[in-house]
C-alpha cells in the first residue's frame, strides 16, 4: 500500500560533492580533501537545522560523492538510499529526472537528496525547472527545489553554499 504524497510536491535537494583531490588516473576513486569533509559537514548541519530529515537519497558511485553522503548522513536522518550509476559526471539529466518522477509515484517519496557532480547537478537543475538556471554549483552546495509531481516541474527555492 502506498502512502499519498502530501500536496503532490516533493522536496528535492541537488548536492554537489565536497572538494576532492585533483584528478590523477581514476576519477571515480578521488577522495575528499580535508576541506571537502569540512564543507560536507557544514552542509549536513545546515540541512539538519533547516530540513531536519530526508526520506531518500540517490548517491553517485564515485568515492567523493559517497564520502560526502556519509558525512551528511552522519548528521541528517536519511531513511533510505541507493547508489545510482546514472548520477556520475557524465550522467543524463533526462534519465535521472524520469527516475525521480517514478520514485515520487511508485514509492511515494516526499523528500529526496541527490549527491552528484558537476556538470550533472547543474543540468539536473535545468531539467527539473524546465529552464536554464545557469547555476555553477560550488563544492558541497545544495539547491533546494519544490518538485510539483502533477506539473512535472520544479521551482528553485534556495541555494546553500557552505
Domain segments of the chain as ranges: 6-16+31-160
Which range (5-19, 29-43, 57-71) has the least confidence?
5-19
Q: Does residue 19 register a pLDDT over 70?
A: yes
Block residue for cell numbers 511508485: 106
- The hierarchical CATH code for the domain 6-16+31-160 is 3.40.50.1240
d(C-alpha 101, C-alpha 1), whole Å: 18
129-146: pLDDT as tens digits: 998 877 899 999 999 999
Q: Does residue 95 sit in helix, strand or coil?
A: helix
83-105: pLDDT as tens digits: 999 999 999 999 999 999 999 88
d(C-alpha 14, C-alpha 160), whole Å: 10
Residue 7: the pLDDT is 55
- Residue 161 gets the label, from left (phi > 0), alpha (psi -120 to 50) or beta, of beta
Amino acid at each position: 500500500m502506498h502512502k499519498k504524497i502530501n500536496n503532490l510536491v516533493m522536496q528535492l535537494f541537488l548536492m554537489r560533492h565536497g572538494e576532492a583531490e585533483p584528478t590523477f588516473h581514476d576519477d571515480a576513486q578521488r577522495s575528499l580533501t580535508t576541506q571537502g569533509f569540512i564543507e560536507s559537514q557544514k552542509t549536513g548541519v545546515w540541512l539538519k537545522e533547516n530540513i531536519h530529515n530526508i526520506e531518500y537519497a540517490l548517491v553517485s558511485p564515485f568515492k567523493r560523492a559517497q564520502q560526502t553522503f556519509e558525512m551528511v548522513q552522519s548528521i541528517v536522518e536519511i531513511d533510505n538510499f541507493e547508489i545510482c550509476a546514472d548520477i556520475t559526471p557524465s550522467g543524463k539529466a533526462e534519465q535521472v529526472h524520469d527516475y525521480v518522477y517514478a520514485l515520487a509515484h511508485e514509492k511515494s517519496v516526499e523528500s529526496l537528496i541527490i549527491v552528484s557532480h558537476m556538470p550533472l547537478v547543474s543540468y539536473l537543475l535545468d531539467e527539473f525547472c524546465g529552464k536554464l538556471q545557469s547555476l555553477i554549483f560550488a563544492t558541497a552546495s545544495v539547491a533546494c527545489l519544490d518538485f510539483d509531481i502533477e506539473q512535472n516541474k520544479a521551482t528553485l527555492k534556495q541555494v546553500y553554499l557552505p
